């Protein structure tokens, strides 16, 4: 299922999904702290962008180590 705003896919990687969910929650807490401290929208956008990239790198590394 997909549209211009959302793309959904099915995965059988339960551990990857669990790690991603946990890291997403950490990112949400960091964004909330930044918002509470009064940082601007640009800083928040950079934080989210970097966090998503780091989550991807972590999952890629984790999956590669798990398959070896």
Q: Which residues are catalytic?
A: 24
> Angle 46-16-25 (CA atoms, 0-180°, nearest 5)?
45
The token duo for 15 is: 């551990």
């Amino acid at each position: 299922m997909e549209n211009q705003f959302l793309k959904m896919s099915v995965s059988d990687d339960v551990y990857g999904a669990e790690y991603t969910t946990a890291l997403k929650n950490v990112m949400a807490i960091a964004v909330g702290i930044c918002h509470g401290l009064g940082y601007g929208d640009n800083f928040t956008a950079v934080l989210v962008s970097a966090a998503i990239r780091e989550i991807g790198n972590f999952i890629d590394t984790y999956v590669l180590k798990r398959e070896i």
